[in-house]
Amino acid sequence: MDSGSPDDLDQRLLHALQLDGRAPFSRLARTLGVSEHTAARRYRRLRGLGLRIVGRPNLVRLGHTRWLLRLRCAPTAAGPLADSLARRPDTSWVTRAASGTEVYCAIDARTADERNDLLLTALPRTPNLMSVTAHCMLQIFKGASTTWHATRFRTTAPATASPDSDIPLRLDATDQALFAELALDGRATLPVLSKAAACSPSSIQRHLDRLRHHGALDLFVDFEPQLLGHHMSTQLWLTVAPARLRSVGAAVATHPDIAFAAAVTGSANLVANGVFRTPADLYTYVDQDLGTLPGIHSIDTVPTLHEVKRLAVPFSPVHARGRT
């Protein structure tokens, strides 16, 4: 199949790549029960439809703190503010929501000074910014290297980090060079990575093995949900009784239409992002799934209108058609 929407084989390939974004085509072919040529051809086709595999450092694993900002501003200010936030190197995700007057932004702060530079200095100077709510992410129930469309078909959990994962991992110059190249193509070959880092392929492999063993490398499989028939992306802000926060967070994370879920600071102490086929599916989820969970006091649903940046890369047409 060389045109049209992704079929079952394409979706199983997305699933296999989610389990290991750097798996060789020979292994992918065995998993899918097809020839290596077919696996490679299907991968190239999906890239032409906008598939990106991006390698990024797991910043929490490196000792950073993640924050989610909810910004309300005048309608004319939302676009420029979102674009400005997308240009910052410490943001990994920027979207516009509600009636276009809300901007959501995820930031990764290495230090309190970096956090305060944005929250206490840059944002207060922004014209027409009406309010800022900053939520520190306390526990991510679903996210990290999880990708929404692949988790719908998941049968095997990804590898977990080593037992010393509470100790921040230090990166050297070679690691930094690898991340710069993997941000462009998470499946970059050893020769390409070797040239970028000026190291031998065997040294590169050792660095990759170390980063993956310690949970410091996340491989994201990014594909447009609309191409899989899902057109309703929504932020869900839940206020949950503290004694039920863990159980509700775990339950939310198991639903196939939920892409991200985390416990956060603030009165709305659980945030999730859902990617549903239709508004009716969102209603069914709120009514039959969330509505039956004990401990939820309130739910605020905010549709996502436009993604400005995701996976630490500003979103543009070049990402939608063929560039990894």
CA-based nearest residue to 140, from 219, 66, 209, 211: 66
Phi-psi bin for 278: left (phi > 0), alpha (psi -120 to 50), beta? beta
The stretch 273-285 carries a mean pLDDT of 95
Judged against a pLDDT cut of 80, whether residue 167 lies above it is answered with: no
CA-based nearest residue to 257, from 146, 158, 92: 146
- Cα–Cα distances (Å) from 300 to 40, 134, 244, 285, 309, in that order, read 43, 16, 18, 13, 23
* pLDDT tens digits along 239-278: 999 999 999 999 999 998 998 999 999 999 999 999 999 9
Quick check: 258 and 273 in contact, CB under 8 A?
Answer: yes
Give 225's pLDDT tier (boundaries 50, 70, 90): confident
The interaxial angle of helices 8-19 and 25-32, nearest 10 deg, is 130
Judged against a pLDDT cut of 70, whether residue 99 lies above it is answered with: yes
Give 202's pLDDT tier (boundaries 50, 70, 90): very high
* pLDDT tens digits along 106-137: 998 888 998 999 999 999 999 999 999 999 99
- The rounded distance, in Å, linking the Cα atoms of 226 and 212 is 31
Q: H-helix or E-strand containing 151?
A: helix 148-151
- The rounded distance, in Å, linking the Cα atoms of 106 and 84 is 13
**Which two structure tokens, joined as six digits, stand for 142?**
């679903």
Judged against a pLDDT cut of 90, whether residue 302 lies above it is answered with: yes
* pLDDT tens digits along 35-81: 999 999 999 999 999 998 989 888 778 888 999 999 999 989 999 99
The stretch 71-92 carries a mean pLDDT of 92
* pLDDT tens digits along 168-189: 888 999 999 999 999 899 999 9
Quick check: 235 and 271 in contact, CB under 8 A?
Answer: yes
Phi then psi for residue 270, to 5 deg, are -140, 125
Q: Average model confidence (pLDDT) for the chain?
A: 86
- The rounded distance, in Å, linking the Cα atoms of 7 and 139 is 35
Most confident of 105-109, 146-150, 193-197, 218-222: 193-197
Give 160's pLDDT tier (boundaries 50, 70, 90): very low
- Supply the pLDDT for residue 207: 96
Mention every residue, 6+ apart, whose C-beta is less than 8 A from residue 171: 57, 62, 179, 216
Quick check: 135 and 209 in contact, CB under 8 A?
Answer: no
- Supply the pLDDT for residue 313: 52
